Amino acid sequence: MRRLWPVPALLACIVVPWLPGLPIFWVSLLNTIGIATIVATGIVVLTGIGGMTSFGQAAFLGFGAYTSALLTTQWGWSPWLTLPFAVAAAGVSALAIGAITLRLSGHYLALGTIAWAVSLYYLAGNLDALGRNDGISGIPPLQVAGVKLIDTRYSCVVIWVALVGVVVATLNLLDSRWGRAIRALRGGAVAAASFGVNTARARMLAFVYAAMLAGLAGWLYAHLQRAVNPTPFGLVAGIQYLLMAVVGGAAFVPGALLGASLVTLVNDRLQDWLPKLLGASGNFEVIVFGVLLILVLQVAPEGLWPLLRRTGSKALHRHDAAPLPKRAHPAPGSTVLNVAGLRKNFGGLVAVADLSFAVSAGEIVGLIGPNGAGKSTSFNLLTGVAAPSAGTVSFAVRDITGATPQAIAALGVARSFQHVKLVASMSVIENVAIGAHLRGSASPLSGVLRLDRAEEARLFAEAARQLAHVGLSNMADRPATSLALGQQRIVEIARALCLDPTLLLLDEPAAGLRHNEKQELAALLSRLRAEGMAILLVEHDMDFVMALADRLVVMDFGTRIAEGKPEAVRRDPAVIAAYLGTDLEETA
């Protein structure tokens, strides 16, 4: 039923504006709300979900509106013909602006958006070609079959039909391979990159998508108002659009409608009441909105939508689709990973010094050592999360020293994290499906158009298979962070297996597991070894790692102090000294 809502929604779009007794004033408000919701939906994707705050979305309405205004008034184009150009103008300008600003993070990005919103505003106000501050008037209305859609009710139908399309497209995008990449940006970017997600591209995608929605809104605005000037595309408007998304619930698509409605209605009333109340005219509503924003953030930091929404996780499609193609794995016994002279300095601290070891297919190597020995740092060097200061890492026979996490993942290196990195807003199976990102190829556009369903079914079938592999099938639809921490580590293993890895790097997978869960994990890892996988295991539980590993590499203060079979390492004096003279069996 979820997917059938657009049908009644479209009917309502056609019927509601013509309801007898509906004042034309309300139809106008509906138009404003509809246009604002389109913009706010883009902000939901960009800010609420992608984590990039933009105060400048109104400027992209400007790109859409002015493009259509120029093409229709100067060149005599028909309004419909200008639509793709208006949307493309917003998208292309977002590509250019994004190439410069998206490298900034956090508050700096937000400040950057303010800077270009202000510059574009003054640019538009000073360009003769754009009519300076007076703007462009005489924009023709939309026409259908020779009938000019001048009546506000016609505009209302067009705007709300467009909005339904936007919401469907946005939900489709978020429920696709690239949508998961965007949803992983907030909090999960390092993990997503480790599974081959091009996070810079995902950021750009969210930015351009939001701008294109704003461009569409600008096009609608231009033909509704039949005139454009810089004011509605300035910074104040940008702040209001952001406010709408935040008030409604910036991480939720329906929140955009809620927020846009509330802010538009309140704005309309305030413009009426405040001057009467205060006995002077002025933009007092801006102050009220500031207070409102702070109140909402205090009372409901996630916005109002989550308060209205019924809780409960969404049922995911998991068909028995055809298995994904597998990569060619090296023969058991051949060297998969070779680390030579690896070094990492953090300022004066040498976290890893001259570390060398190798791992073969069908072998489990344990990397052990006291806290702070440099194990996790070594993992980050092997997976491209950090660049080594010296030394080489080769995978199969290829030199991967300093390669990006995406490139290393693409070769078949998958990992889990000591500090679990799952995307909190996603279900378990969606998190696991991120591991299969590189095994799909659907583009964002095919996601929006829902042409990716066959591939999605295969990705989710693989995710379901790997969840079954690690024994967590019954958790598939739970929110990822509702699981116990130990189980979240196992989810990370399922995600790693979705990559179809040749080399699996596990950072303390047994931490937080109960005794029988550890036994199940050991059985799983033995099974994977028997299938020919190379596994590098960092683990503090000595019983666990001694029983499982074929070889151990012991680190202390960044250097390798011992290497060999578990029985030999256990008796090595240097190792015993590193563990403060305690017997290894007691340090579990």
Residue 445: which residues within 8 A CB-CB, separation 6 or more?
none
What residue 176 binds from Mg ion, ligand ADP, none (CB within 5 to 8 A, per partner kind)? Answer: none
Beta 534-538 vs 364-368: how paired, if at all?
parallel
| Buried b or exposed e, range 250-285, using 16+ CB within 10 angstroms | bbbbbbbbbbbbbbbeebbebeeebeeeeeeeeebb
Helix (H, G, I), strand (E, B) or coil at 178: helix
| The token pair that represents 535 in the structure block | 């596994």
In three state form, how does the secondary structure of 276-315 look? Answer: HHHCCCCCCHHHHHHHHHHHHHHHCCCCCHHHHCCCCCCC
* Among 35-43, 356-364, 366-374, 577-585, the segment contacting ligand ADP (CB under 6 A): 366-374
Question: Which of 65-73, 95-103, 289-297, 415-423 is the region at the interface with Mg ion (rule: CB under 5 A)?
Answer: 415-423
Half-sphere exposure of 573 (CA within 13 A, CB side): 0
Q: Measured between alpha carbons, how far is 82 from 154 in angstroms, rounded to an integer?
A: 19
If the CB atoms of residues 469 and 540 are measured against ligand ADP, the closer one turns out to be: 540
Sequence-separated (6 or more) residues with CB below 8 Å from residue 193 = 199, 385, 404, 405, 406, 409
Both tokens assigned to 163? 């909005």
Q: Are 436 and 321 in contact (CB under 8 A)?
A: no
Cα–Cα nearest to 117, from 237, 207, 264, 32: 237
Binding-site member from 140, 374, 435, 501 for ligand ADP (CB under 6 A): 374
- In 206-263 the beta strands, taken as DSSP E runs, fall at 227-228
Question: Min. distance of Cβ 365 from ligand ADP in angstroms?
Answer: 15
Q: Closer CB to ligand ADP, residue 56 or residue 369?
A: 369
Q: Contact with ligand ADP (CB under 6 A): which of 54, 199, 229, 377?
A: 377
> Can residue 376 be called a binding residue for Mg ion (CB under 5 A)?
yes
CA-closest candidate to residue 194, choices 500, 433, 499, 400: 499
Considering the rule CB under 6 A, would residue 486 count as an interface residue with ligand ADP?
A: no
Q: Using CB distances below 5 to 8 A depending on partner kind, what does residue 374 bind out of Mg ion, ligand ADP, none?
A: ligand ADP
CB 440 within 8 A of CB 177: yes
The residue ranges of DSSP E strands in 138-190, in sequence order, are 143-144, 147-148
Task: Kindly indicate which of the ranges 85-93, 127-135, 344-352, 529-537 contains the residues binding ligand ADP, using the contact rule CB under 6 A.
Answer: 344-352
Q: Which of ligand ADP, Mg ion, none interacts with 131 (beta carbon under 5 to 8 A by kind)? A: none
Least distance CB 418 / ligand ADP (angstroms): 6
Site stretch for ligand ADP (CB under 6 A), options 87-95, 104-112, 253-261, 345-353: 345-353
43-51, 195-203, 280-288, 368-376 -> range binding ligand ADP (CB under 6 A): 368-376
Task: Assess 346 for contact with ligand ADP (CB under 6 A).
Answer: yes
Among 14, 115, 349, 523, binds ligand ADP (CB under 6 A): 349
Which of residues 450 and 540 has its CB atom nearest to Mg ion in the complex? 540
Question: Taking the complex as a whole, how short is the minimal distance between the CB of residue 344 and ligand ADP, in angstroms?
Answer: 8
Match 């193609």 to its residue by tokens: 325
Task: Indicate the residue among 13 and 351 with the shorter CB distance to ligand ADP.
Answer: 351
Q: How far is CA 187 from CA 109, 258, 526, in A?
A: 17, 26, 32
- Both tokens of 365, joined, read 């190597």
152 neighbors 31 (Cβ within 8 angstroms): yes
Is the CB of 167 or the CB of 368 nearer to ligand ADP?
A: 368
> Residue 301 CB, nearest distance to Mg ion (Å)?
32
DSSP codes, 106-123: HHHHHHHHHHHHHHHHHH
Does 509 bind ligand ADP (CB under 6 A)? Our answer is no
User: Of these, 193, 373, 498, 506, which contacts ligand ADP (CB under 6 A)?
Assistant: 373
Which of these, 528, 184, 523, lies nearest to 361 by C-alpha position? 528
- Min separation Cβ 386 and ligand ADP, Å: 7
Least distance CB 397 / ligand ADP (angstroms): 27
Partner whose footprint covers residue 351, from Mg ion, ligand ADP, none (CB < 5 to 8 Å by kind): ligand ADP
- The residue range among 44-52, 322-330, 374-382, 512-520 that interacts with ligand ADP, by the rule CB under 6 A, is 374-382
Q: Which of 225, 376, 416, 488 binds ligand ADP (CB under 6 A)?
A: 376
Please list, residue by residue across 113-144, b when 16 or more beta carbons sit within 10 angstroms of its beta carbon and e when fewer do: bbebbbebbeebbeeeebbeeebbeebbbbee
User: From the list ligand ADP, Mg ion, none, which binds 471 (C-beta under 5 to 8 Å, kind-based)?
Assistant: none
For the CB of residue 351, give the shortest distance to ligand ADP in the complex, in Å.
3
CB of 419: closest distance to Mg ion in angstroms? 9
The residue range among 148-156, 192-200, 370-378, 401-409 that interacts with Mg ion, by the rule CB under 5 A, is: 370-378
Binder among 418, 443, 473, 559 for Mg ion (CB under 5 A) = 418
The contact set with Mg ion (CB under 5 A) reads: 375-376, 418
The contact set with ligand ADP (CB under 6 A) reads: 346, 349, 351, 369, 371-377
